[in-house]
Amino acid sequence: MPAARGRKGTAAALLLTPFFALFALATLAPIGYAVWLSLFQEHRSGLGFGPATTVFSGLDNFTSALADPAFRSGFGHVALYALVYVPLMLAGSMTAALLLDSTLARAKRFFQLTLFMPHVVPGIIAALVWVYLYTPQVSPVVQLLQSGGIPFDLGSESTAVPAMANIGIWEVLGYNMVIFYAALQAIPRELLEAARVDGASELRTALSIKIPLVRSSVGLVGLFTGVAVLQLFNEPLLLSSMGGGAISSRWTPNMYNFAAALQGNDYGRAAAGSLLLALFCAALSYIVTRFSKPWRSA
């Protein structure tokens, strides 16, 4: 028995070694490097034209990032985006999953593939599509809205935020729909058949049986969505490149860190901002999982 346990332990160690090696290289090493960068600043002598000198600054990068109104306001912008995006995304994904799970649905595989396709579209192709759809001079959608008396101005935050949320929903609705559909398929069929025998309609079955039984999946998707929203980057970067002024180059914390590193060459502050964002994501994850227990079934 001890020899057998030893062989099993050796085999497990060999199988897990590649994972831990990649985890250390792709996760732990970048985190450690970011921590190291966040503790230093570059100073130049004279009027700023002299050679740069790297000096230890302790927590100065963290305090300067937190004191910057642009960094703090980024969290407010993310919260505003989440108020629009998260409810619509969850409702849309659940509605699509319920429709596919309905006994009245036809061509389920076709619609599953059609809804999931946007998630696998390369980012550069998706960006080109949405630049076209949001450019007033060429977009038939914008021209149709304006001809109907519906204003569309990306220079207004009241338009830019929903436009941004629309891109995000288009990208992930099909992916989350697959998660909800898989959870719906796990519901015992005899339970649904009993509801139909009792005269329950599809709508009543969905509201009273299906949604309550998959609320653990809804909680998990909501948690992952919340963490993803805090890391918002691609959508506001696309809209900021189109101009308008409503979305600045530092509109979210991630964009702030990006601008600090690549535009201001302030890698210490960018690293500090990234670590602060990571801590905020970890705190949000803990709070949600601590009080909602999304992994527990009903």
How would residue 48 be classed by pLDDT, with cut points 50, 70 and 90? low
Instruction: Answer whether residue 294 shows pLDDT above 60.
Output: no
Average pLDDT of span 194-203 = 81
Instruction: Answer whether residue 120 shows pLDDT above 60.
Output: yes
Cα of first residue to Cα of last residue in the chain, in angstroms, is: 41
pLDDT at 298: 45
Instruction: Answer whether residue 276 shows pLDDT above 90.
Output: yes
Average pLDDT of span 211-236 = 86
Average pLDDT of span 38-44 = 81
Instruction: Answer whether residue 108 shows pLDDT above 80.
Output: no
Give the separation between CA 191 and CA 177, rounded to whole angstroms.
22
Instruction: Answer whether residue 99 shows pLDDT above 80.
Output: yes
Nearest to 235 by CA among 85, 71, 60, 33: 85
What number does CATH give the domain 62-292? 1.10.3720.10
Give the separation between CA 53 and CA 270, rounded to whole angstroms.
18
pLDDT at 86: 92
How much of the chain exceeds pLDDT 70, in percent? 90
Nearest to 61 by CA among 264, 285, 296: 264
pLDDT at 46: 56
Segment holding 291, helix H or strand E: helix 267-292
How would residue 1 be classed by pLDDT, with cut points 50, 70 and 90? low
pLDDT at 4: 58
Average per-residue pLDDT for the chain: 83
Average pLDDT of span 72-80 = 92
Quote the distance between the C-alpha of residue 274 and its chain's center: 15
pLDDT at 84: 92
Average pLDDT of span 50-71 = 84
Give the separation between CA 46 and CA 52, rounded to whole angstroms.
11
- Tell me the pLDDT tens digit for each residue of 9-27: 677 788 888 888 998 998 8
How would residue 176 be classed by pLDDT, with cut points 50, 70 and 90? very high
Written as six digits, the tokens of 184 are 């719906």
Using only C-alpha atoms, what is the Rg of the chain?
24
Least confident of 123-132, 220-229, 289-298: 289-298
How would residue 285 be classed by pLDDT, with cut points 50, 70 and 90? confident
Instruction: Answer whether residue 44 shows pLDDT above 70.
Output: no
- Tell me the pLDDT tens digit for each residue of 139-169: 888 888 778 877 777 777 778 888 889 888 9
Instruction: Answer whether residue 277 shows pLDDT above 70.
Output: yes
Q: What is the pTM of this model?
A: 0.83
Residue with tokens 């332990």: 9
pLDDT at 94: 92
Instruction: Answer whether residue 134 shows pLDDT above 50.
Output: yes
